[in-house]
């Protein structure tokens, strides 16, 4: 969920105690958004750093954004604003569905997607399938906000590759959620953004009227052509109705994108969305309501034009990647 490669470093001080290259003395987190663009912010501390079989992982205590989870050098989630990402990912498909009861999450290891899903009163079962057990256990231990979700009896936590798990299962689902890491070279899951995966694995596991939703990478005025536009176009080849939408997330330093898709049209009005929020969801949303979703799904002229003119279809042999590299593609 980030378009960046990261470096954890202490700002160097010269012999007079002044920060080299700047006036302040601190510990900083730096992300390389592009060759000529970097984004950094001050840290209180580095709470954890390590590596699993699949990914590098860090937990940072940042000054502007609170605790922040970083995987493979990409900021996945920050305490202050993760609610924007997770409310946008989860609530639109569940609110557009007439009666969502069974959900399958691809990824979602930190638990925030499950947390938002389990706020819905109609939901009977959530299967969360993440490939990296160490990341899941790490998030269980460190992310207090999701402890209740991890202990909810409706949650079935599976450690496996999401593709293999969906192929193995005979169950069908009302909603399938793609809360996966971004498609990056050397990353663990770019194959889960392909047309063949959507067509032959995801769609057959949806109930009639079912909805698929996925995070779709950066969707800013300059960054949306990396993967957002081709994920949208790829889903158009598989589903009859496809809705792209976006929102600005401060800790990502960009606008972020999601795409939901179904063979059933999305016809719920703004007022009905708000009514369903009141009736179906426990607690108050902090970000999303009917008007907010209408705004989120009204993309700028430039982005709309790009999406309308996109011809690239995502496949394993013809993949697009965001800027950066996964651990398994590094020396």
> Beta-carbon neighbour count of residue 264 at 10 Å?
16
- Cα–Cα nearest to 215, from 101, 84, 316, 65: 84
Q: How far apart are CA 248 and CA 291, in angstroms?
A: 16
132 is catalytic: no
Retrieve residue 271's tokens: 């007022």
**Cβ(288)–Cβ(88) below 8 Å:** yes
Q: How far apart are CA 17 and CA 19, in angstroms?
A: 7
**DSSP conformational letter for 18:** P
Q: Report the sign of the C-alpha dihedral through residues 231, 319, 169, 77, in that order.
A: negative
**Cβ(128)–Cβ(105) below 8 Å:** yes
- Cα–Cα nearest to 260, from 236, 244, 277: 244
Q: How far apart are CA 165 and CA 181, in angstroms?
A: 17
The C-alpha angle 92, 173, 293, rounded to 5 degrees, equals 5
CA distances (Å), 102 to each of 50, 171, 323, in order? 34, 9, 35
Q: Mind spelling out the 3-state secondary structure of 153-173?
A: CCEEEEECCHHHHHHHCCCCE
Helix residue ranges, H only, the chain = 82-96, 112-117, 133-142, 147-150, 162-168, 195-197, 228-236, 270-280, 290-296, 301-309
Which of 179, 182, 263, 289 does the annotation list as catalytic? 179
**Cβ(59)–Cβ(67) below 8 Å:** yes
* Residues assigned a catalytic role: 179
């Amino acid at each position: 969920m980030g378009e960046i490669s990261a470096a954890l470093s202490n700002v160097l001080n010269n012999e007079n105690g002044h920060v080299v290259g700047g006036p302040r003395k601190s510990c900083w987190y730096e992300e390389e958004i592009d060759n000529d663009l970097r984004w950094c912010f001050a840290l209180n501390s580095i709470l954890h750093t390590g590596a699993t079989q699949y990914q590098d992982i860090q937990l940072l205590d940042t000054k502007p954004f609170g605790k922040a989870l970083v995987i493979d050098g990409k900021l996945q989630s920050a305490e202050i604003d993760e609610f924007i990402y997770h409310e946008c990912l989860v609530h639109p498909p569940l609110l557009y569905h007439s009666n969502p009861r069974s959900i399958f999450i691809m990824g979602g290891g930190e638990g925030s997607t499950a947390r938002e899903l389990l706020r819905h009163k109609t939901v009977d079962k959530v299967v969360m399938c993440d490939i990296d057990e160490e990341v899941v256990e790490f998030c269980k231990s460190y992310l207090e906000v999701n402890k209740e979700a991890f202990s909810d009896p409706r949650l079935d936590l599976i450690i496996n590759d999401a593709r293999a798990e969906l192929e193995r299962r005979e169950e069908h689902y009302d909603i399938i959620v793609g809360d996966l890491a971004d498609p990056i070279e050397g990353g663990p899951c770019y194959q889960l953004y392909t047309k063949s995966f959507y067509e032959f694995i995801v769609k057959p596991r949806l109930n009639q009227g079912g909805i698929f939703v996925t995070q779709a990478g950066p969707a800013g005025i300059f960054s949306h052509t990396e993967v957002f536009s081709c994920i949208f176009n790829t889903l158009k080849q598989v589903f009859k109705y496809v809705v792209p939408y976006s929102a600005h997330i401060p800790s990502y330093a960009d606008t972020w994108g999601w795409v939901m898709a179904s063979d059933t049209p999305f016809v719920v009005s703004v007022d009905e969305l708000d009514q369903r929020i009141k009736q179906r969801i426990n607690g108050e949303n902090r970000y999303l309501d009917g008007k907010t979703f209408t705004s989120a799904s009204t993309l700028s002229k430039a982005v709309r034009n790009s999406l309308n003119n996109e011809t690239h279809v995502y496949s394993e042999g013809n993949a697009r990647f965001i800027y950066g590299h996964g651990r398994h593609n590094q020396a």
